Structure 1
C-alpha cells in the first residue's frame, strides 16, 4: 500500500517550491524581519494566485477546492522557505473557523475576500484570552469589549474571529473602538499585535459549542504547522550538510568528521519521525477521522521538537559563522521557537496527547 501523496499533489508541491525559491528569498524575509513590511506581499499574492493558499477552501467560497492534503504540502514548502505570509492566521485559523462555525451568509461574504487575498484575517480561539490588565473579552450580542493579547498578524488583519466566553464572534478591525499595539516577538517575520476593543460592533458566529469548534480548528492547525516545522527542519539540515561539504578545517572538509556526521544523523532521525506523525495527521485531517485529536497532538509534539533541535544544532554545526546576523541560521531558530508557541506550547500538546491516550485506554 502506498502511503505517499499522489503525483498531482507532488506536482503542486514542486510548483510552490519553485515559486518560493524565487520569491521567498533571504532578502525578502529580512525586509519583514526588519519591519519594512508586515508580510511578503509578492509571496502572498503568488500563493493566492496559484490557488495554493486556498487549497482547502471550497470553490463556492472562492477557494481552489482541492483539499487538506494539498494544503499540507503547501505548508511544508512555506516552512522550508521561511515564507513571511499570513498563512496560519488567515487560512489555518480564521478561514477554517468561518467554514465550521459561520452562517452561509457570513461564509459567502467573508471567505471569497480571504481567498482572493483582498483581506487578511486572524483568529484567537483560546478559552482564556486576557489583556495584560486582566480584562477579558466580553460580547453583549452586538458589541465586543476587552482585549486579545497576542493576535498573529493582528497589526495588518482587517478581520478577526475571536472567542468571547462561550461564543465565537466576528469583528472588523477597521471599525470604531479598535486599537492595536505591536508586540515584540522573537520572530518578527510572523508579527504579533495586542488588540483592544471598546464597544466595537461585532456579530456572533451561529454554530453552537465554541469549545468544540476551537478544538477542531486547533487540531487542523496543529497538523498544518507540523508540516511547516518539518519543512523548516529539512531546510536547515540541507543547508548544514551543504556547508559541511564546503568548509574545511585541518585540511579536511568538516563533513568528514564523525562527530558532525552523528549530529546530522540525529537531526535527520528527528525529522523523519516528525514526518511520519505529520503524515498520519494529514490523513486524519483530510478524512475527518476520529483519531484526529491524537494524531494532531503527536504531530505537534514531534515536529516542534524536531524543528527546534534542527535549528539549534544547525547553528552549532555552522561554527562561529552560524551565530552571525548575515547567516540565515537565526531565521530558522526564530521561526522554530515561534511556531512552537502558536496555538499552545509543546508541553500543552504533550499533555493533550496523554489525555487522549488515557481516554482511549479507559
Structure 2
C-alpha cells in the first residue's frame, strides 16, 4: 500500500484546517470551554460544508469519501481540539444510521443530523477484564416489557455532549441476547440528563438516567428483536481509527508548539534547542507520532480491504496511539519546564485530552488482554 496522502487528502486537510482556524480561534476556544462548552454555530458550519456526512451514502460515486479521507479530517479535529463529537457522529452514528434505517426514515432521522440541524450523540459500550476475559457491556440498563412496549431503567455514564444533544442513539441488550437500537429524543418522559465533570475540557460528558422510560417495540430500528451487534462493531472500529487520528493530530500540534518553545527559550545565551538532550526528546516524540500515523493508516487500509482479520490491528493501533499521545504530551511539558501545564501555554489542553483517552471505551490494559486472548 502507499502511505503517502493523495492530492485529495492533502486538500481535505488543508481545507479543514483553515475552516477550524476561522471557526474556533484560540481566544474563542478559551471562551467556549469556560462558558457553554459547545458552539452550535460552529457545528452547523461544519455540517453545512459537508464534513458531517462524509460517510453517508447520499454522495454520488464521484463525490464519495472513504474512511481513509475521514481520518485526515479527524487529524485536524484533534489538532484543533474541536468542541464537538465530530468523530462520534461522522464515523459512527452517520454510517450506522445509513446502513440500518429504511430509506423512508432516513430523511427524518439522518438528514437532520448530516445538515447539523439536530445534534445526535450515542451511548457507547464499555469493556473491562473479568477473570482474564474481556467483557463488553452495551449499556447495562434493566428491562421490563409488555406486549407493545419496552421500559428502561438505570443509567449510562460518560455520554459525549449529551447535555447539548437533541437525540441519543441508544443500544440496548435485548432479551434474545442481541443488540437492539433506538433513537430517543432528549425530552422523552423519564429521561434525565446530568452534566459530568470531565478531565478533557474539549469533550463535555453527561450521565443519562432512565426512570422507567417507555419505548414502543416497533420504534426500535428493525424491531425490538433485531440484532445490530455486527454493524455496531464494524462502525465502532472505524470510530476508534478516527479517534486514533485525533490523538495523532493533537500530538503533532503539541510537538509543533514544543519546537517553537525550545527555539525561543534561551539558557546561558543559547537557545535550548541546541542541546543534545533536548534534540533527543524531540526526535523521540517525532518518531512516536510517525509510527502511530503509519500504523493507523495501515490499519485503516486493512479494515477497508481485508476486514476479516483487521480487528486485532484496530485494537493494537488504539493502544499504541493512546500511549503515544500521553507520552508526547508529558515530554512536551517537561521540555517546556513545566510551563506547558499553565493556562497560558495551552499544552495542558491536549494532555487532558490524552488522559481522557486512557479509559475511553476500554483501558490500554483491557485492550492488551483482548489482543493476548485472540492471538
TM-score by length of 1: 0.89
Q: Distance in 2 between matches of 1:328 and 1:7?
A: 32
CA contact (8 A) 2:191 2:208 kept: yes
Q: Residue 163 of structure 1 aligns with which residue?
A: 171
Structure 1: any 5+ residue segments left out of the alignment?
none
Q: Distance in 2 between matches of 1:70 and 1:40?
A: 24
Q: Residue 352 of structure 1 aligns with which residue?
A: 370
Q: What are the superposed Cα offsets for residues 82-101 of structure 1, whole Å, 9 maximum, x if unpaired?
A: 11122133223322332343
Q: Distance in 1 between matches of 2:350 and 2:104?
A: 40
- Counterpart secondary structure, 1:337: helix
Compute the displacement of 1:30 (Å): 2.0
Q: Distance in 2 between matches of 1:142 and 1:29?
A: 44
- 1:175 matches 2:188: yes
Paired residues for 1:128-277 under 5 Å: 128=137, 136-138=141-143, 140=145, 142-146=149-153, 147-165=155-173, 166=178, 167-202=180-215, 203-206=219-222, 208-277=226-295
Q: Residue 349 of structure 2 aligns with which residue?
A: 331
Q: Distance in 2 between matches of 1:201 and 1:32?
A: 35
Q: Distance in 2 between matches of 1:31 and 1:138?
A: 42
- Counterpart secondary structure, 2:137: coil
CA contact (8 A) 1:240 1:318 kept: yes
Q: Distance in 2 between matches of 1:186 and 1:139?
A: 35
Q: Distance in 1 between matches of 2:104 and 2:373?
A: 37
Tell me how many residue pairs correspond in the alignment. 350
Q: Distance in 1 between matches of 2:45 and 2:107?
A: 23
Q: Distance in 2 between matches of 1:191 and 1:129?
A: 21
- Counterpart secondary structure, 2:260: helix
Q: Distance in 2 between matches of 1:43 and 1:175?
A: 27
Q: Distance in 1 between matches of 2:64 and 2:209?
A: 35
Q: Distance in 2 between matches of 1:242 and 1:153?
A: 33
- 1:7 matches 2:7: yes
- Relative to structure 2, which stretch is displaced further, 38-47 or 252-261? 38-47
Counterparts in 2 of 1:160 and 1:287: CA distance versus 1, 3 Å: farther
Q: What are the superposed Cα offsets for residues 116-151 of structure 1, whole Å, 9 maximum, x if unpaired?
A: 001111112425356xxxx72436363442221221
CA contact (8 A) 2:17 2:76 kept: yes
Q: Residue 88 of structure 2 aligns with which residue?
A: 89
Q: Residue 279 of structure 1 aligns with which residue?
A: 297
Compute the displacement of 1:295 (Å): 2.4
Counterparts in 2 of 1:59 and 1:100: CA distance versus 1, 3 Å: closer
More RCO (CA 8 Å, sep 6+): 2
CA contact (8 A) 2:78 2:246 kept: yes
- Counterpart secondary structure, 1:118: coil
CA contact (8 A) 2:74 2:87 kept: no
Q: What are the superposed Cα offsets for residues 257-293 of structure 1, whole Å, 9 maximum, x if unpaired?
A: 1111111111111111111111012213444622331
CA contact (8 A) 1:77 1:228 kept: yes
- Relative to structure 2, which stretch is displaced further, 239-248 or 165-174? 165-174
Q: Distance in 1 between matches of 2:265 and 2:150?
A: 60
TM-score by length of 2: 0.86
Counterparts in 2 of 1:97 and 1:301: CA distance versus 1, 3 Å: same
- Relative to structure 2, which stretch is displaced further, 84-93 or 52-61? 52-61
Compute the displacement of 1:353 (Å): 2.8
Counterparts in 2 of 1:245 and 1:217: CA distance versus 1, 3 Å: same
